[in-house]
Structure 1
């Protein structure tokens, strides 16, 4: 099993120490044995832009995988984004993984499309086509024809470090997203609150992959999970509640109906993560429930201990 962690790129998380503290966090994560560093994406809260963050981290790390989870392609022009992603893959020596999403209804979906002046309708088809355009550019295509993007002449593109380009994962757990993951994507990175839903979703992804003539095991089963390790479940919930209010403007009780959480003592957190791995998750990426940099580093160390990273 692979264990990764999110960089705390939201301004509320690094304001006390400054954004350069994120570089130290990245180095510490690699030294502690984590296999990946992920960044998330939004225009609705102040944060360090994710691809800028990964470009900064790439030269100061050596082996840890760098990822987006989830990048929102609607916020960027597709040809330029393909070049940026290829550049980060080159700078990192082929360590980039790109998890993408299309947003979801409500306060975290439609406003992003409005800011980007892109229609909300057919957002999933637009996402799939954008990824197809990226892959075509990385493969050296000189033209592309689609429903949303058409180019009769494409200039030579920046090639990724790897010939096939970075793996592209999809975040999402609707029936349509599961089918699309199995047909088109290299990995699946949802955040279901119930491990049983993860198992059901993964089975659907693998069935779709088989129907598309792909090997089911070619789709990496990943998980985005919020983690807080504390002296008691009550204490962990109190701190995580402050975190979700700062990050989303939502209380924990509301957020945990949407996302996966592992909260409590080291034993309780380990047990929750084990339920997801039993459901089939192979790559867990934890977002630490900590607003202050010293607490973030403490949580990083606790998670490394809980997952036995030091012994691997």
Structure 2
């Protein structure tokens, strides 16, 4: 299998050190081969001058916990190069280290997030690039992502639920090897609306979408009250949850699997994963950042790439 491409993330964050830690333990952990895109000087400093294989690309001084315009430019250039190389077939997938969205937006105003950039780069509509958060305990998908809570009711629709549930079902089969995926769909309102007393989105939008999905052969259930959906006895009844908004999906995943949570983008023609945490500028360079989520992201990318190659 071709190596994975690992982008630097913001070099002022914990990206370089968790990549270096993953590289140091690659043989012990049985990780798939990977190379770092750019940042040879940055990686050498972060890794104590260990020899980590890389591809020539954006570089600079290693200045942990000191984000600036240059670090944002390096992060974006490394990301774009990793995506382009993977699309060109040079790599089996891309693993993206954390970036600061607002910092990149200062140097590239069109930038919203790494998932959206991947969708654009692959020539897909952004509704077709689906963010899944996956850990040992749980897989969740936010239907709406980077938007204000006040905007969520107007953004959810039957078409969006149906479209994204189909993408999730196909990915669970092809990328995770689940032959008959079970997908739980959360309600938007407390108690899933309580028969319309706390909102009608469940009645007017979510339930009809679920009925159509079931009619099409998708094992979708709901709308489920979100306050009980993530309890231990419930988690055994489904393979993934589609939540209505960002925190409804990410809070339980991070509570259960923070150190091993992986952000995987479904629906793309290429494999992409990322550790499910941010740049952590406040602890960068102190040697205390845990590499577990980066290790899990590299492992998952290799497993998905292998399934796709052999499928």
TM-score (norm 2): 0.31
Which is bigger in relative contact order (C-alpha 8 A, separation at least 6)? 2
